[in-house]
Amino acid sequence: MKKAALVGGMVMVFVLWGILLPFADRSSFSVHMIAHMGVVAGAAPLIAIGLSGTRFDFSAGRLWLTPLTASLVELFAVWSWHIPAMRALSESSPFLTALEQAAFLAAGLSLWLSCLGGAATGREERRLAGTFGLLFTSMHMTLLGALLALSPRPLYGEGEASCLGIMLSADVDQQAGGVIMLLVGAVVYLAGGVALLARTLNDQVPEPSGRNGR
């Protein structure tokens, strides 16, 4: 299962970075959001599942890399790159687009690995902390997605943009991107947090004793 998850995550990164971004309209905010959510909420958790517990699990032995710390790092990365001036810079240069996407992958992978990986000792406490980290991320993704979808004016350009062949005005393009963040980002992180909490609670349930008390 770990190998399949790792391969699936790497294939998703290749599709997003090697096919979608090079050939799509980089000025489209909804295209940007498809790539963004695909990296942090699709590829990153799959790769984290594949790397957890292996020698490539960089969260092991790093006590400072807690789910809360990683969640704050992702908040900074996500909100910073969605400042209108930073979005304009990213759209203007393939190098800056690559830097932006690398920041998203690094932040997402750090968060998911801090929740799913790490040393065997203290993993239960890490999962519990991961619940709060993922739920906090879900909340700030929800907030940003709602702000983008409900903004009274476009923040990222004024002309039309092509989203996978569909021409959208600037305001509709931004609204579509905000909805993508709401539907994908918020839901995936919420589901991850609930799953971690359920697993933690399940591990704490004592096994029923046998009829003879053995």
Burial class of residue 106 in the structure, from the number of CB atoms within 10 Å of its CB (0-12 exposed, 13-18 middle, 19+ buried): middle
pTM for this structure? 0.87
Alpha-carbon separation of residue 36 from 26, 102, 132 (angstroms): 12, 10, 22
Alpha helices in 38-121 (DSSP H): 44-51, 67-81, 84-92, 94-116
pLDDT category at 214 given cuts 50, 70, 90 is very low
**Sequence spans of domains, the chain:** 2-56+63-202
Q: 77 pLDDT exceeds 90?
A: yes
Identify the pLDDT of residue 65. 85
Secondary structure of residue 150 in the 3-state scheme: helix
pLDDT category at 123 given cuts 50, 70, 90 is low
> CA 143, CA 81: separation in Å to the nearest integer?
15
Contacts for 199-205 with beta carbons within 8 Å, 24 or more apart?
A: 199/127, 200/124, 200/127, 200/128, 200/131, 203/124
> CA 25, CA 82: separation in Å to the nearest integer?
17
> What are residue 181's DSSP bridge partners?
none
Please state the φ and ψ torsions of residue 107, each to the nearest 5 degrees: -65, -45
